[in-house]
């Protein structure tokens, strides 16, 4: 009795068991928005495709609340959408697509249990896909792959699969197999259910016609597939069965094997099969790690952590919304939870869930769900909310920024306002803000250049405060921790390099990599790190 698969134990609560919390990762333009929209359509959350975002059109939605986002066609802020599909509850957490927001994306991925990787059938694995995939791998997230745009000229199926296996070092198993390419693409064979799915090019929102087939020798196939395509397709499937691994749920759940579906999001083709795959094989809400212990989803007590804070979502309210991933329990509106960092109780009276086009009051939520909690700044990234246990969730990192810049208000009388604005963005995780020991002013650190533009635009719009970013003397930042005596000594002779971050932690700023090595050599009891955990 070797090799018996040991699947994770079923969660007892049917409400929790039916939840699937996931994100979609892709390179810009691969079709993430289109796919998201079809998910919402088939999940009954929107009535008609075209509501989520129409590029180049004036139409806007909640998730496009920032002008810069609409202008550039990028999704700057992550939000979570919930909808039912068959017996499942899907929580789709939106990740920002632009590479400049990788830190935000990373944190978003700490809140999900699985990811869907969308690739363009003509382009294969692109740079951003690769980066995001690496982040998923750090957490061993199970990944479902959707190869999109099969209605256009695309690469050879084996070539696409090979590229994923080579570049991402993950096994790939075909869940479906495309029949024909480009203009001759007629549909796909569902290898997991022995079904033929025929694409309807006339109606983009119509779900494919599904024909039950009993194996590849079924004469029925010839009624639906032209003879020349059928021959090639039969050969390919035979080869695929010989060369590629079969689906194995455990290997998938452990992140070693990704099933791939071939489809066309815009034609609604292959989308339901992908959703079925997420429902049938995708992970239930997974245990979450805290410094004290692991929290399992079906524990009775409610516990959750903040993975994102979004300010000024609604111009009318000037509120902040903290996005909380529930790690365990059954949450009900009005519950009093302990905010672990301040040890104070918080009555959660107006939690929101994001249902596609609108936010709604969440009367209840279960482990795996994402709820938004409006607040006035008490809730920060990494914070825990529990029914009393002092838990500290781990694994939500803060990265050292790669770009540093000075910032100043164009109106010098507004310096205090600027400080307030900067602190808010720091809490939101949109930027690092450092106050140097020497001199006045602030240094802002980000991961990508575009973030400076977004910040400048938001400070101007939300605080009516025009600002200018200026070159700074520094290019690197490292958090410093260690023995107090050495710390004091080091600070004393390096004052010009020292700053405090918005949590009051000590940071070493420099423009020379060599400086960092020097400090580590001269002060062996100190540690300089490029990430710090937010808790």
Contact with ligand GDP (CB under 6 A): which of 13, 21, 26, 310?
26
Distance in angstroms (rounded) separating the CA atoms of residues 449 and 170: 32
Give the nearest distance from C-beta 309 to ligand GDP in angstroms: 24
> Binding to ligand GDP (CB under 6 A): which residues in 43-72?
55
Contact with ligand GDP (CB under 6 A): which of 11, 16, 30, 404?
30
Q: Does 270 bind ligand GDP (CB under 6 A)?
A: no
Build a one-symbol-per-residue string for 93-122: x at contacts with ligand GDP by CB under 6 A, - elsewhere. Answer: ----x-------------------------
Instruction: Using the minimum distance from each CB to ligand GDP, give the nearer residue, 74 or 225.
Output: 74
Binding window for ligand GDP (CB under 6 A); candidates: 156-164, 202-210, 264-272, 334-342: 264-272
Contact with ligand GDP (CB under 6 A): which of 16, 208, 266, 385?
266
Secondary structure, 3-state, 373-401: EEECCCCCCCCEEECCCCCCECCCEEECC
Binding window for ligand GDP (CB under 6 A); candidates: 144-152, 249-257, 368-376, 500-508: 144-152
Binding window for ligand GDP (CB under 6 A); candidates: 29-37, 87-95, 107-115, 333-341: 29-37
Q: 231 and 218 in contact (C-beta within 8 Å)?
A: no
# binding residues, ligand GDP (CB under 6 A): 18
Distance in angstroms (rounded) separating the CA atoms of residues 77 and 411: 29
Q: 354 and 36 in contact (C-beta within 8 Å)?
A: no
Give the nearest distance from C-beta 268 to ligand GDP in angstroms: 9
Contact with ligand GDP (CB under 6 A): which of 62, 131, 152, 204?
152
Phi-psi domain of 334 (left: phi exceeds 0; alpha: psi -120 through 50; beta: other) = left
Q: 85 and 78 in contact (C-beta within 8 Å)?
A: no
Rounded to the nearest 10°, the torsion over CA 42, 46, 48, 50 is: -110
Cβ of 127: how many Cβ atoms within 10 Å? Answer: 9
Cβ of 414: how many Cβ atoms within 10 Å? Answer: 18
Place of tokens 């196939």: 221
Contact with ligand GDP (CB under 6 A): which of 18, 20, 25, 33?
33
Distance in angstroms (rounded) separating the CA atoms of residues 18 and 84: 10
Instruction: Using the minimum distance from each CB to ligand GDP, give the nearer residue, 73 or 482.
Output: 73
Instruction: Using the minimum distance from each CB to ligand GDP, give the nearer residue, 122 or 230.
Output: 122
Q: 320 and 374 in contact (C-beta within 8 Å)?
A: yes
Q: Does 31 bind ligand GDP (CB under 6 A)?
A: yes
**Cα 388 vs. chain centroid, distance in angstroms?**
29
Q: Does 34 bind ligand GDP (CB under 6 A)?
A: yes
Binding window for ligand GDP (CB under 6 A); candidates: 32-40, 371-379, 419-427, 436-444: 32-40
Binding window for ligand GDP (CB under 6 A); candidates: 30-38, 310-318, 413-421, 439-447: 30-38
Distance in angstroms (rounded) separating the CA atoms of residues 327 and 349: 19
Q: Which of 398, 323, 399, 393 is nearest to 535 (CA)?
A: 393
Binding window for ligand GDP (CB under 6 A); candidates: 147-155, 251-259, 403-411, 526-534: 147-155
Give the nearest distance from C-beta 266 to ligand GDP in angstroms: 4
Place of tokens 């700490």: 110
Give the nearest distance from C-beta 148 to ligand GDP in angstroms: 5
Contact with ligand GDP (CB under 6 A): which of 125, 265, 454, 467?
265
> Binding to ligand GDP (CB under 6 A): which residues in 381-400?
none
Binding window for ligand GDP (CB under 6 A); candidates: 149-157, 219-227, 360-368, 525-533: 149-157
Phi-psi domain of 114 (left: phi exceeds 0; alpha: psi -120 through 50; beta: other) = beta
Residues present in the chain in total: 535
Q: 267 and 151 in contact (C-beta within 8 Å)?
A: yes
The DSSP secondary-structure symbol of 51 reads S
Instruction: Using the minimum distance from each CB to ligand GDP, give the nearer residue, 32 or 320.
Output: 32
Tell me how far CA of residue 404 lies from CA of 114, 431, 477, 484, in angstroms. Answer: 33, 10, 8, 27
Give the nearest distance from C-beta 521 to ligand GDP in angstroms: 46
What residues have CB less than 8 Å from 70, skipping those under 6 apart? 60, 64
Instruction: Using the minimum distance from each CB to ligand GDP, give the nearer residue, 31 or 255.
Output: 31
Contact set with ligand GDP (CB under 6 A): 26, 28-34, 55, 97, 148-149, 151-152, 264-267
């Amino acid at each position: 009795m070797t090799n018996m698969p040991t699947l994770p134990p079923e969660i007892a609560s049917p409400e929790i068991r039916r939840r699937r919390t996931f994100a979609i990762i892709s390179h810009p333009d691969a079709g993430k928005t289109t796919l998201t929209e079809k998910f919402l359509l088939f999940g009954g959350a929107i009535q008609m495709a075209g509501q989520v975002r129409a590029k180049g059109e004036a139409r806007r939605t909640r998730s496009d609340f920032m002008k810069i986002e609409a202008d550039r066609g990028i999704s700057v802020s992550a939000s979570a959408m919930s909808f039912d599909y068959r017996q499942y509850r899907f929580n789709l957490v939106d990740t920002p697509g632009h590479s400049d927001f990788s830190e935000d994306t990373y944190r978003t991925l700490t809140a999900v249990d699985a990811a869907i990787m969308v690739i363009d059938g003509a382009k294969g694995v692109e740079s951003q896909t690769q980066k995001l995939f690496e982040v998923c791998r750090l957490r061993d997230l199970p990944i479902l792959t959707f190869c999109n745009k099969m209605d256009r000229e695309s690469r050879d199926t084996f070539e696409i699969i090979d590229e994923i296996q080579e570049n991402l070092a993950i096994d790939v198993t075909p869940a479906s197999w495309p029949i024909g390419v480009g203009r001759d693409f007629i549909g796909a064979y569902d290898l997991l259910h022995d079904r033929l799915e025929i694409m309807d090019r006339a109606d983009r929102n119509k779900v494919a016609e599904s024909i039950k087939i009993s194996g590849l020798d079924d004469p029925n196939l010839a009624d639906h597939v032209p003879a020349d395509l059928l021959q090639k397709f039969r050969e390919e499937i035979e080869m695929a069965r010989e060369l590629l691994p079969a689906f194995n749920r455990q290997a998938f759940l452990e992140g070693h094997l990704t099933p791939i579906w071939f489809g066309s999001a815009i034609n609604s083709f292959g989308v339901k099969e992908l959703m079925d795959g997420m429902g049938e094989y995708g992970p239930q809400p997974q245990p979450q790690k805290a410094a004290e212990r692991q929290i399992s989803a079906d524990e009775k007590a409610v516990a959750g952590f903040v993975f994102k804070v979004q300010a000024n979502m609604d111009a009318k309210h000037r509120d902040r919304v903290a996005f909380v991933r529930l790690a365990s329990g059954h949450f009900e509106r009005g519950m009093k939870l302990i905010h672990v960092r301040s040890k104070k109780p918080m009555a959660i009276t107006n939690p929101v869930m994001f249902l596609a086009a609108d936010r709604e009051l969440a009367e209840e939520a279960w482990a795996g769900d994402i709820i938004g909690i409006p607040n006035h700044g008490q809730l920060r990234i990494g914070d825990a909310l529990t029914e009393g246990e002092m838990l500290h969730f781990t694994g939500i990192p803060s990265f050292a920024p790669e770009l540093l810049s000075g910032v100043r208000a164009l109106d010098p009388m507004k310096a205090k306002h600027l400080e307030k604005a900067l602190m808010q963005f720091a809490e939101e995780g949109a930027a690092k803000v450092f106050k140097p020991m020497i001199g006045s002013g602030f240094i802002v650190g980000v991961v990508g250049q575009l973030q400076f533009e977004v910040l400048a635009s938001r400070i101007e719009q939300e605080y009516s405060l025009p600002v200018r970013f200026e070159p700074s003397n520094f290019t690197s930042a490292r958090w410093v921790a260690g023995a107090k005596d050495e710390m004091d000594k080091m600070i004393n002779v390096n004052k010009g390099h020292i700053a405090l971050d918005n949590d009051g932690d000590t940071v070493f700023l420099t423009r020379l990599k060599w400086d960092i090595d020097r400090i580590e050599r001269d002060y062996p009891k100190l540690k300089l790190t490029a990430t710090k955990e937010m808790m």
